[in-house]
A and B are shown apart, each in its own frame.
Chain A
Amino acid sequence: MSITRVNIGPIHPSTHGVLRLVVDLEGDTIENIEPHIGFLHRGVEKLVETRMYMQCPPYMEKIDYVAPMSVDELYVAAVEKAMGVEVSEKAQYVRVVLLELQRIASHLFWVGSICNDLGQLFTTFMWGFRDRDMVLHLLEIATGQRMFYVNMRLGGLSRDLPEGFGEKTLELMDYLEKRLKEYENLIEKNPIFVDRMKGIGRLSRGDAKEFGVTGHVMRASGLDYDVRSERPYYVYRKLNFRKQYHLSGDNLARYEVRIMEIKESIRLVREALAGMPEGSAAGMPIKLITPNAKNRIVMESRENPRGEEMIYLVADPQKPYRLSIRSPTFINLAALNHMARGSRLADLFSIMGTLDLVLADVDR
């Protein structure tokens, strides 16, 4: 049979941004995929070399626009490490609460968009967006912004949590738990969903290691590595965090890992709010910072919603000398060819959907 070469993207309904895939099809079966990335390459790594340390967080947030705070926090943590700044315990708790809320928001976004990729008419998408927006509203109460927060400061946050934030959060967490059951009824009990997800895009444990995938893709394949539990930062050690993983490594496993992670995050938020100590979470105001990097080379990694994000920072006193970001989606996307080869064209999009690509994060 002859091979049809189909060009998908860079403008396409389900590439989640500007991603171009050149797909070789034999009939309906995928022979080879050649991803073309870089349409969203902004050269952030080069750009920050010309900026002062605390001018960079806005750029960092745009790296992962679905979960901006996580990258912002990672960058600030790396700078803190370079400058030897300690984070107060209250600030640690607040950061954990906000990061977990951000994770919930990001995962809800994904749950909606994966159903869209499977061809549902935006119903779960709208549900996910609605619930995500409620979480974003909480973050807006806490930081003053709905999406791009820029609320991390050296040693803490731009401001303390406002009055009544805890009660509102707990209320929302109860609501979200109820909603997750509804999602289950709508999605997981749908035989077509299970049929489209089970056994599709299988990635074995060995291949997961070989291709270096990370985050939920890795954990769904049985590699139970979560930075929050293996190298606990902040108060995750105290919080009795349980990493979520699955053994089968297919689309359904990735979906289930994410749902379990939402539940775990809800539990973590509750626990962190209950254990929140007294004190101030405020960090240094930007104007008062006198940059004085002590450590020359800093490596810092965080479990972001999409996987392990790592910063390799070579610090000058005033500016980052070199800032290299290991983005999780970049390396997950590199494994796409291996995962989707041999499956059907329709499954390519569900596999790509489960990778949870954010093209800004891929291209940086």
Chain B
Amino acid sequence: MIYSLAYLLNSGNIYYEAAGVVAYAILVSILIFAFSYLFGWVERKLIAKMQYRHGPTYVGKYGILQNMADLVKLLAKEIIIPENANRFILLAAPILLVAMNIFLIFLIPFVPALQLGSFGLGLLAVFVVLGFTPILIFLTGFSSGNKFADISAQRSVLTLISYEIPMIIVIATAAALAHGYSIYSMVSAQSGIDFAFLMPIGLFIFFIAMLAELERPPFDLREADSELIAGWLTDISAPYYALFLLLDYSRMFLGSLLISIIFFGGWLGPAFLPPIVWLVAKAFTIAIFITILRATTMRMRIDKILRIGWIWLMPLALINLIIAYMLLL
């Protein structure tokens, strides 16, 4: 099916190509939803095991339908918009955020044969679009007219901005090693050895920055529930909250995909499994590692997070860049 899709996309006939894009979009959307859903279940079960609990058991076999039940519950609830909220932004920003993240995942070629998003600056494009996230988060938090949301949005933006720069530097390093920003060149450059072994410092920085970008613990200032109730989501009504849960997991998917593409050779792997399975499996493993971190760490304080970002990650990223150039020479 994938190869017929590739044929459609490369056929040169505009109608066929359009049909191919639509089919691809549907395929990737299904993949995102499946990943979000399954990963939500795995995360619940895994954290439950770490806490000597059972996790969901009642709905479906091993509680696998529990998330569906939660989704239905959330969707069935009323939408409440606070009086002093900016109605338009509050309703538009979540949808924009989710749409943006799904678009970003479209840019990632799940199958090497697919040409979509394979233009020369593919990876850079991903990060350019990702850079819009803080603005939307700030808009959502600010427009809900809640002080907790306000504080949380400010924190969120501070974190994202100060961690984006080391991340971009690491990507530049990887691009230097791969001779280009295209995702294809990035992956094919790792056919010999993974970048994870070439630049372990880079992996470390990128992983931490990605955690901050995804707002996963210990950087989960967004939903700092013991301080800010639910952060910038405090005044978000249930159906939109369901959207944000989807956003949460799709961002996690995106983040783990990027890590596996830049550092672990993307879809490369022994041939007994198709490339798409390798890519998703790698992303899944990384996501599980993030989950284990989530269950054990405490939350860091905002000033400490910023300090680590500027004092440790920035110089380390530069050192990583220098080492990589020495490797190239």
Binding site for B on A (CB under 8 A): 4, 6-7, 12-14, 28, 115-123, 126-127, 130, 186, 190, 192-193, 195-196, 344-349
Chain A CB within 8 A of B322 CB: no
Chain A CB within 8 A of B218 CB: yes
Could you give 17 example pairs across A and B, Cβ below 8 Å?
A6-B148, A115-B298, A119-B218, A119-B220, A119-B227, A120-B296, A120-B298, A123-B47, A123-B50, A127-B51, A195-B304, A196-B301, A344-B301, A346-B224, A346-B227, A346-B299, A346-B301
With A and B bound together, what is the CA distance between A6 and B47 in angstroms? Answer: 33
With A and B bound together, what is the CA distance between A22 and B217 in angstroms? Answer: 28
With A and B bound together, what is the CA distance between A177 and B148 in angstroms? Answer: 41
Chain A CB within 8 A of B318 CB: no
User: Which residue of chain A is the closest to B218 with respect to CB atoms?
Assistant: A192
Specify which chain B residues have a CB less than 8 angstroms from the CB of A193 in the assembled complex.
Answer: 298
With A and B bound together, what is the CA distance between A337 and B148 in angstroms? Answer: 21
Known contacts A193-B298, A344-B303, A346-B299: A119-B50 contact under CB 8 Å: no
Query: In the complex the two chains form, is A14's CB within 8 Å of B51's CB?
Result: no
Give the number of residues in B that approach A within 8 Å (Cβ atoms).
Answer: 27
Please give the distance in Å from B118's CB to the nearest CB on chain A. 38
Binding site for A on B (CB under 8 A): 47, 50-53, 147-148, 151, 217-218, 220, 224-227, 229, 294-304
Known contacts A121-B47, A130-B52: A196-B298 contact under CB 8 Å: yes
Query: In the complex the two chains form, is B295's CB within 8 Å of A121's CB?
Result: yes
Residue of A121, A122, A347 most packed against chain B (CB within 10 A): A121
Specify which chain A residues have a CB less than 8 angstroms from the CB of B224 in the assembled complex.
Answer: 119, 346
Query: In the complex the two chains form, is B302's CB within 8 Å of A346's CB?
Result: yes
Query: In the complex the two chains form, is A120's CB within 8 Å of B225's CB?
Result: no
Please give the distance in Å from A83's CB to the nearest CB on chain B. 46
Known contacts A13-B225, A14-B227, A345-B151: A119-B52 contact under CB 8 Å: no
Specify which chain B residues have a CB less than 8 angstroms from the CB of A120 in the assembled complex.
Answer: 217, 295-299
Specify which chain A residues have a CB less than 8 angstroms from the CB of B52 in the assembled complex.
Answer: 126-127, 130
User: Which residue of chain A is the closest to B53 with respect to CB atoms?
Assistant: A126
Query: In the complex the two chains form, is B226's CB within 8 Å of A119's CB?
Result: yes
With A and B bound together, what is the CA distance between A192 and B294 in angstroms? Answer: 13
Residue of B52, B296, B303 most packed against chain A (CB within 10 A): B296
Residue of B294, B297, B302, B303 most packed against chain A (CB within 10 A): B297
Specify which chain B residues have a CB less than 8 angstroms from the CB of A28 in the assembled complex.
Answer: 151, 302-303
With A and B bound together, what is the CA distance between A155 and B300 in angstroms? Answer: 51
Specify which chain B residues have a CB less than 8 angstroms from the CB of A121 in the assembled complex.
Answer: 47, 217, 294-295
Please give the distance in Å from B85's CB to the nearest CB on chain A. 17
User: Which residue of chain B is the closest to A193 with respect to CB atoms?
Assistant: B298
With A and B bound together, what is the CA distance between A117 and B225 in angstroms? Answer: 9
With A and B bound together, what is the CA distance between A127 and B295 in angstroms? Answer: 12
User: Which residue of chain B is the closest to A194 with respect to CB atoms?
Assistant: B298
Query: In the complex the two chains form, is B227's CB within 8 Å of A6's CB?
Result: no
With A and B bound together, what is the CA distance between A88 and B119 in angstroms? Answer: 87
Please give the distance in Å from B141's CB to the nearest CB on chain A. 14
With A and B bound together, what is the CA distance between A359 and B52 in angstroms? Answer: 29
Query: In the complex the two chains form, is B229's CB within 8 Å of A119's CB?
Result: no
User: Which residue of chain A is the closest to B50 with respect to CB atoms?
Assistant: A123
With A and B bound together, what is the CA distance between A34 and B288 in angstroms? Answer: 42
With A and B bound together, what is the CA distance between A123 and B229 in angstroms? Answer: 19
Query: In the complex the two chains form, is B227's CB within 8 Å of A345's CB?
Result: yes
Please give the distance in Å from B321's CB to the nearest CB on chain A. 27
Specify which chain B residues have a CB less than 8 angstroms from the CB of A347 in the assembled complex.
Answer: 301
Known contacts A119-B226, A345-B151, A349-B227: A186-B296 contact under CB 8 Å: yes
Query: In the complex the two chains form, is A118's CB within 8 Å of B302's CB?
Result: no
